Amino acid sequence: MFIQTERTPNPNTMKFLPGETVLKEGTATFRNREDAMASSPLASILFQIPNIEQVFFGSDFITVTKAESADWQMLKAHVLTSIMDHFISNKPVMNDDIKEKSLNRSDSSNAEDTEIVKQIKELIDTRVRPAVAEDGGDIIYQDFRDGVVYLELHGACSGCPSSTATLKGGIENMLKHYIPEVIAVEAVNGYNEENFDL
């Protein structure tokens, strides 16, 4: 098995491409070992490596975020070995019993969405998400309120030094161009329904 690696705009995050499907749909973010142990055998193994701070799964890639003080030269071989051993053993990436609960999903349009929200979601899904996936991340629509679009950042996007430039210079400008009602874009990290209060 050959696993490709790619640097990302976030110097603390590296993208690993195992050449196999990681997740069939959605994405998954693990910010600590406890979350990983409850949801993903692969993420659990990766969190056993010292200085790993976040694990993110996309459709065909894994991004791993290290502590700022750690060095990729020391960690990269451990991460590669852990990913390779996991896929060779044919263990599942996610536990089947809680797979649905753990996935980050694009909030696809539903009947209650306004026309503006449908347009925002369409632009995020077709123009933004494919581009940020190339860099090992994901951006998920969360809300549109008072002219502000709230987006959740995952993987390499979360904590990236260039995420503000991406949000303001790229995504915000694009949304304003196509949808005049949009006045700003803001990041919401670590979203869950219990603590998302705007």
* Residue 193 lies inside a defined structural domain of this protein: no
* Residue 197 lies inside a defined structural domain of this protein: no
pLDDT of residue 192: 38
Q: How many domains does the chain have?
A: 2
Alpha-carbon distance 61 to 167, whole Å?
Answer: 22
Residues 127 and 174 in one domain: yes
Alpha-carbon distance 151 to 134, whole Å?
Answer: 18
Residues 77 and 156 in one domain: no
**137-190 pLDDT per residue, tens:** 788 898 999 999 999 888 767 766 677 777 777 888 889 989 999 999 988 865
**83-110 pLDDT per residue, tens:** 999 999 999 999 876 655 445 555 555 5
15, 22, 73, 139, 193 from 4: Cα distances, Å: 8, 14, 15, 23, 36
Give the range of the structural domain holding residue 133, as residue numbers without chain letter: 106-187
* Residue 198 lies inside a defined structural domain of this protein: no
* Residue 42 lies inside a defined structural domain of this protein: yes
Residues 9 and 88 in one domain: yes
Alpha-carbon distance 182 to 148, whole Å?
Answer: 6
Give the pairing type, strands 184-187 and 148-155.
Answer: parallel
Residues 40 and 61 in one domain: yes
* Residue 194 lies inside a defined structural domain of this protein: no
